[in-house]
């Protein structure tokens, strides 16, 4: 196998197979970013005199051609090539000769993969944020559509107080605002340039790291070269926590949807085409999509712990264990994006039962409303509570079934526009930066 670190001897094939693993397949997702990083790096090398203008032009043209192959899907990592970094450099050398060997001056695969991963995570977090925003918009749409339709609210899994579909859908919309905060925080961790830290201890070349920061549109530098190397694992962990936060919200809603579709509840339903059946029970219409979303989101919430366990006891400097982070974080980003897309589609199709509270078993939902009504008429709260409580005990309680909530965030005042403003303000912190 061709390796950038080849020193004239062959390592044992079993060692080679075990240490490389599936890195070559995973590295295909980094190809675009590896080329972008190389383009910035060689422009900087030319600026400090390590490349001539002619060499830079030839190398940039070669890299553009490789980038085109990535974008049209023909790029691959050849058999016998260790990783994407090796593949790009070998392609350049094969095409351009010895000038292709100059692109690695002043860097190591350690900072090369770091910059690739940070560019990758920045893009992935922006895509996840965009999909979270789309889900948020759908939640708000159905919240407004059904804001006047009441449904039971529960505590301890017991009938508690009146809620509404507007309140239920709207709650998940606003919870996604908190998740967006986590995504922005993770994006900011990723948005720092490690290029130039080399193997983690800098370089004797007079590198211009500010220049590569600007060329790669990073917000700032990982200034300390050791700290830059320490960001491997830290970036993935921050992203994993953000993704787990989104998955927690999404998984919780999926559980609600499965529960509320159950015939014992009957609060919501889906078009038949969005459910599945049973091989033995002809009446079944199962919410398999929400069950799969629930399961995948539960699994996604384990990702921060898996990353923590992989990185917690590692000593300072690069260790090969860190390669395994790609096995964890790459599939997780794909899975979360798929769950967000499917949830956005499904939630827009949910049909609500607008007559739930006509069933007398929900009469006790209104006890608090009737206590409060008596208090507003001048009855002391504790006396009003006792009066309604005794009516319940004696089987004499008759609900008024009227709800009058006006304060911010209640059934009658969902604050939909204010929540939207809050989301837009946070979401723009990623999108505005990403467009620059």
CATH code of the domain covering residue 22: 1.10.275.10
Neighbour-count burial of 242, counting CB atoms closer than 10 A to its CB (0-12 exposed, 13-18 middle, 19+ buried): buried
Per DSSP bridges, beta strands 268-269 and 351-352 are: antiparallel
Q: What is the pLDDT of residue 423?
A: 97
pLDDT band at 14 (very low <50, low <70, confident <90, very high): low
Q: What are phi and psi of 162, to 5 degrees?
A: -65, 140
Q: What is the pTM of this model?
A: 0.91
Instruction: Classify residue 211: in a domain, yes or no.
Output: no
Domain boundary among 83, 105, 127: 105
Mean of pLDDT values over 333-350: 97
Q: Are residues 376 and 411 in the same domain?
A: no
Locate 298 and state its tokens.
Answer: 């539960």
Per-residue pLDDT for 276 more than 70?
yes
Q: Are residues 345 and 364 in the same domain?
A: no
Q: How far apart are CA 371 and CA 392, in angstroms?
A: 12
Q: Mind listing the pLDDT tens digit for each residue in 23-75?
A: 778 889 999 999 999 999 999 999 999 999 999 999 999 999 999 999 999 99
Structural contact between residues 300 and 244, judged by C-beta atoms closer than 8 angstroms: yes
**Among the listed residues 297, 292, 329, 337, the one whose alpha carbon sits nearest the alpha carbon of residue 131:** 337
* Under 8 Å between Cβ of 197 and 112: no
262 and 184 inside one domain: yes
In a shared domain, residues 252 and 271: yes
Q: Looking at the structure, do residues 177 and 34 belong to the same domain, yes or no?
A: no
Query: CA of 349: how far to CAs of 20, 147, 275, 402, in Å?
Result: 45, 16, 11, 29
Token representation of residue 258: 């499965």
Residues 288 and 373 grouped into a single domain: no
Helix H or strand E encompassing 150? strand 150-155
Of 105, 128, 159, the position where a domain reaches its end is 105
Helices (H) and strands (E) counted in the chain, each on its own, are 15, 6
Tokens 């809620």 map to which residue? 163
d(CA 130, CA 241): 17
DSSP, res 2: B
Q: Is residue 115 situated within a structural domain?
A: yes
Q: Could you give the C-alpha distances from 373 to 163, 167, 392, 417, in angstroms and in order? A: 17, 22, 16, 29
252 plus 354 within the same structural domain: yes
Give a yes or no: residue 150 inside a domain: yes
Range of the domain at 371: 360-393
Q: Judge if 417 and 368 occupy the same domain.
A: no
Question: 98 and 118 share a domain?
Answer: no
| 4 lies in some domain | no
CA gap 203, 107 in Å, rounded:
8
Give the model confidence (pLDDT) of 76-117 as tens digits.
Answer: 998 888 889 999 999 999 999 999 999 999 999 999 999 999
- Give 202-254 pLDDT, tens digit per residue: 999 999 999 999 999 999 999 999 999 999 999 999 999 999 999 999 999 99
**Average pLDDT, whole number, for the chain?**
92
> In which region does residue 129 sit, left (phi positive, over 0), alpha (psi from -120 to 50) or beta (all else)?
alpha
CA 272 – CA 260 distance, rounded (Å): 16
CB 347 within 8 A of CB 139: yes
- Are 292 and 334 members of one domain? yes
Domain's final residue, options 60, 88, 105: 105
How many domains, in total, are found in the chain?
3
Whether residues 43 and 98 fall in one domain? yes
Give the pLDDT of residue 38.
Answer: 97
Q: Same domain, yes or no, for 282 and 186?
A: yes
């Amino acid at each position: 196998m061709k390796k950038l670190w080849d020193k004239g001897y062959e390592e044992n094939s079993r060692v080679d197979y075990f240490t490389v693993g599936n890195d070559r397949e995973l590295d295909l997702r980094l190809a675009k970013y590896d080329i972008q990083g190389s383009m910035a790096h060689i422009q900087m090398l030319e600026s400090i005199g390590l490349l001539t203008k002619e060499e830079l032009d030839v190398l940039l043209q070669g890299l553009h051609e490789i980038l085109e192959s990535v974008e049209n899907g023909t790029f691959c990592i050849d058999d016998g090539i260790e990783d994407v970094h090796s593949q790009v450099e070998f392609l350049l050398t094969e095409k351009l000769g010895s000038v292709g060997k100059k692109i690695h001056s002043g860097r190591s695969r350690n900072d090369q993969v770091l910059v690739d991963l940070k560019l990758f995570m920045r893009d992935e977090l922006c895509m996840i944020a965009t999909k979270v925003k789309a889900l948020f918009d759908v939640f708000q749409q159905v919240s407004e559509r059904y804001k006047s339709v009441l449904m039971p609210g529960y505590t301890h899994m017991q009938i508690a107080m009146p809620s509404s579909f507007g309140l239920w859908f709207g709650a998940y919309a606003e919870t996604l605002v908190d998740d967006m905060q986590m995504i922005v925080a993770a994006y900011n961790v990723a948005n720092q340039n490690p290029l130039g830290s080399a193997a983690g201890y800098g370089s004797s070349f007079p590198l211009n790291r500010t220049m590569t920061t600007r060329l790669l549109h990073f917000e700032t530098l990982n200034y300390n070269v050791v700290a830059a190397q320490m960001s491997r694992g830290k970036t993935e962990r921050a992203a994993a926590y953000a993704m787990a936060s989104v998955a927690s919200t999404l998984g919780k809603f999926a559980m609600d949807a499965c529960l509320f579709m159950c015939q014992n509840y009957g609060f919501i339903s889906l078009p038949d085409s969005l459910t599945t059946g049973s091989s033995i029970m002809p009446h079944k219409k199962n919410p398999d999509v929400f069950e799969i979303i629930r399961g995948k989101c539960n699994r996604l919430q384990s990702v921060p712990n898996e990353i923590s366990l992989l990185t917690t006891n590692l000593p300072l400097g690069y260790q090969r264990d860190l390669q395994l982070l790609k096995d964890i974080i790459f599939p997780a980003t794909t899975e979360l994006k798929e769950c967000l897309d499917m949830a956005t589609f499904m939630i827009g199709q949910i049909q609500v039962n607008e007559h739930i509270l006509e069933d007398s078993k929900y009469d006790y939902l209104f006890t608090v409303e009737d206590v409060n009504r008596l208090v507003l008429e001048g009855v002391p709260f504790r006396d009003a509570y006792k009066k309604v409580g005794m009516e319940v005990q004696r089987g004499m309680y008759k609900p008024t079934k009227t709800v009058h909530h006006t304060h911010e965030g209640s059934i009658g005042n969902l604050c939909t526009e204010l929540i939207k403003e809050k989301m837009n303000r946070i979401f723009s912190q990623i999108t505005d930066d990403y467009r620059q």
